[in-house]
Copies of this chain bind each other. A is one copy, B any other.
Amino acid sequence: MKKLVANNQPNFLTRMFANEQIAQIKEIMSSTPHRLDPFFNPQRIAIIGASERGMYPSGVLRNLLDYGYKGEVYPVSLSRETVFGLKAYPDITKTPQTPDLAIIIVPRKAVLATLKQCVQKGVPAAVVITAGFAESDDEGKVLQTKLADFIKTNPITVIGPNCAGLADMHTKAISTRLPVPPKAGTVSFVSQSGALMMALYGLFADRQIGMNRILSLGNQLDVNLSESIAYLVADEKTQVIGTFIEGLQDAPAFANTLQEALIIGKSIILLKSGRTESGQAAAATHTAALAGSAKVFDAVCEQFGAIQVNDISEMMDTLQLAATFGDKLQGAGKIALVTQSGGLGSLSADLVEGFGLIAPPLSKALSQKLLDLPHIPDFGLLANPSDVRGSSVIGEATAETLAPFLNDSDTDAVVLLLAKSAVREQDVETAKSIVDATKSSEKPLIVIWVGQRHPVDDPDWALGHEILREAGIPLFAQASDGLRALSHLFHHWQFREKWLENPTNLQIPERKSKKERENKALSYAENMALLEKYQIPLAPAKLVKNEVDTLVAAQEMGFPVALKAISTELTHKSDAGLVELNLQNADELARAAKRVFERLGGHRIEGLQVQKMLPSGVEVILGISTDPQFGLVLAFGTGGILVELLDDVVLRLPPISETQVREMIKKTKAWRLLQGFRGSPPADIDALVTLIVNLSKMAVEETSTLDGLDLNPVIVLPKGQGAYAVDYRAFR
């Protein structure tokens, strides 16, 4: 058998993503004009349906006036001469200059006519806040179809309808109604749900997280989620992107965007609904597009290092740390836990381990520095967590206690754990001292403060917390919140570093529709040619036409052999008794061949395959399948009963690099089996990796016609002896 060669080009790609290149890519991305630009940086905004009452009709204009938008604003109103003192126009064609952006808040029946006027005026972009379209009744569905037809054939970009608008916190171009003034920063957020975007904006404000752009998409008639995220990835002011997703419209573009974000080092944090049957049903009644397979979605996020979260607080926590610390959360994730509560310390140590972070023992140097401090009790046990007792981390001494940790080169992040309900003055001292400590160090510090913050009888009590918040020190109410967010980000940057060592370049070309490819099983010769072309090794086999030739073939390759009828008419050959295994000699082979012929029941066959029985190895399965959203997907899993019993399968979009293949294998139980389990020898992992890389190449090159391929099982023999597919089935 020929030596297998992997077909990826790590050197070229590694060079491609060197730091200078990444800077270049970012420069090109952010300087390329985009059709979404007018939404966030318009010179002139028209509000069509402006009024002095109503949440949006009045609120949008008030936001523009109150929060410092520098461009011109044209209220458009059928009934008013002025709105909030600004001259109003009866329709958009009457404005003195052409607006860059129209915000449309008119009755649903008037939306189409309004858009027509916008096009007539030359307005390039419109946000349609108005609801009552496809998300509502039959009339709404008809109206939406008409809108869609109009937008397709006219030079205007539309966000909505049925959306809560959008905002840019730097230009103050606000097409929504922000309940609190904007605070400019580096986080952008895009949401399919308008209500959730507005609720989360409040939470961002609450945590004093600076934002760049927020965007709600509504029914996604024109601009969809994938395009929006891609736009934010390219945006130079955006460093961190949060998104709430119900369903994807353009999955390949979404996957490409995740890859771009990974390469240029922007973190994407996703909250996805519609992950279960109940959630999908709920999403379907709303505005979301096809919710799609949660499994493939998860795999794609994992493949490109996007951070998936499970609920609102986890999203906020992770966004906050990403915004606060940027790419500083790099390294192994060595956490120093400093506390005055042994109980909270041991609880947190459990969580550190559970989240895959590390709390290594303190170095001798660090311990000594601590013991030199006057306020550390000499009986304090200085482990990690360090229980330094109350006097060291409550009140003015805190900064001195934290300094050795913040200056320790062997610590990646410091977590201060306080278990105490607020005690007014002292808390202020503690908070100020914590802020002082962080001034002389770049090392990330978070504070986990378990206890009462907001007693009903005295709202000022929360002052200590406010001081930390205003200083930008992330504050959490329980250990798991802060540690989980740290773990997301440490693992994200670790993943990126590893990924860039041996990257791939995702290519998802256009494919024929499923119907055009409709499940045509390949002939034996076609199967063999396909496997050969991509160097997928098959256990030695020969197709013969009669019983006599089976014996010749078997003697050539040596007993024991397996015998199988080959026919595109018959798919479940084992069930039909058309596969005979472990035939030891000529006699057994002859009888088996006879049985197989008897069982054919008149079906035409291409011939009988005689195949050498492989010695025992680790059984795995490999496959290519078609996802309705993402296209071809590679699958690798543990074989035998485990694949069904555990669903122990990992999915990836092709192509995947050798490094990525190894990571993929490690995520399954097969990894332990392959390393030599219960006394069996280590398996030929290198051969398996090469096989998967070649399969990935096949998926890329054959993507326009291939529909699926099963290699089940693949036997991975002991080290040095190779990995071979035993059974195979491809569809075009």
Contacts and interface: CB of A to CB of B under 8 A. Distances in A.
This chain's copy number in the assembly: 2
A12 interface: no
A198 B346 contact: no
Contacts of A351: 310-311
A179 B452 contact: yes
A480 B179 contact: no
Contacts of A179: 421-423, 452
Contacts of A481: 311, 313
A195 interface: yes
Contacts of A721: none
Contacts of A275: 350, 354
A608 B534 CA distance: 56
A609 interface: no
Interface in A160-209: 179-180, 191-193, 195-196, 198-203, 205-206, 208
Nearest to A140: B379
Contacts of A669: 645-646
Contacts of A359: 278
Interface string A638-652: 000110111000000
B387 A677 contact: no
A352 interface: yes
A480 B310 contact: yes
B193 A419 contact: yes
A377 B132 CA distance: 10
Interface residues of A, number: 98
A193 B202 CA distance: 36
A271 B347 CA distance: 9
Nearest to A343: B193
Nearest to A469: B456
B195 A282 contact: no
A195 B343 contact: yes
A452 to B, nearest CB: 3
A350 B191 contact: no
A426 to B, nearest CB: 10
Contact of A273 (B205, B346, B645): B346
A419 B195 contact: yes
B276 A349 contact: yes
Given A421-B179, A450-B312, A478-B312, A278 B349 contact: yes
A452 B203 contact: yes
Contacts of A536: none
Contact of A381 (B285, B340, B342, B379): B285
A33 B202 CA distance: 54
Interface string A417-432: 0011111000000000
Contacts of A532: none
Contacts of A322: none
A94 B285 CA distance: 77
B273 A347 contact: yes
A420 B454 CA distance: 21
Contacts of A444: none
A451 interface: yes
Contacts of A273: 343, 346-347, 349-350
Given A312-B477, A646-B669, A199 B347 contact: no
Interface in A353-408: 353-354, 359, 377-379, 381, 383-385, 387, 390
Contact of A346 (B279, B353, B385, B480): B279
B343 A477 contact: no
B421 A349 contact: no
A462 B288 CA distance: 32
A387 B286 contact: yes
Contacts of A480: 310-311
A453 interface: yes
A24 interface: no
Interface string A253-291: 000000000000000000101111111111101111000
Given A283-B346, A285-B387, A459 B459 contact: yes
Nearest to A484: B311
Chain B CB within 10 Å, residue with most, of A179, A244, A347, A672: A347
18 contacts: A179-B422, A180-B457, A192-B343, A193-B343, A196-B419, A200-B451, A202-B421, A203-B450, A206-B455, A271-B347, A275-B350, A278-B349, A278-B352, A282-B385, A286-B387, A310-B351, A312-B477, A456-B466
Given A191-B343, A273-B346, A278-B349, 13 more contacts: A192-B343, A196-B341, A199-B344, A200-B451, A203-B450, A206-B453, A246-B343, A276-B354, A278-B350, A310-B480, A311-B480, A456-B466, A641-B673
Interface of A: 132, 135-137, 140, 179-180, 191-193, 195-196, 198-203, 205-206, 208, 244, 246, 271, 273-283, 285-288, 310-313, 340-347, 349-354, 359, 377-379, 381, 383-385, 387, 390, 419-423, 450-457, 459, 462, 466, 477-481, 641-642, 644-646, 669, 672-673, 677-678
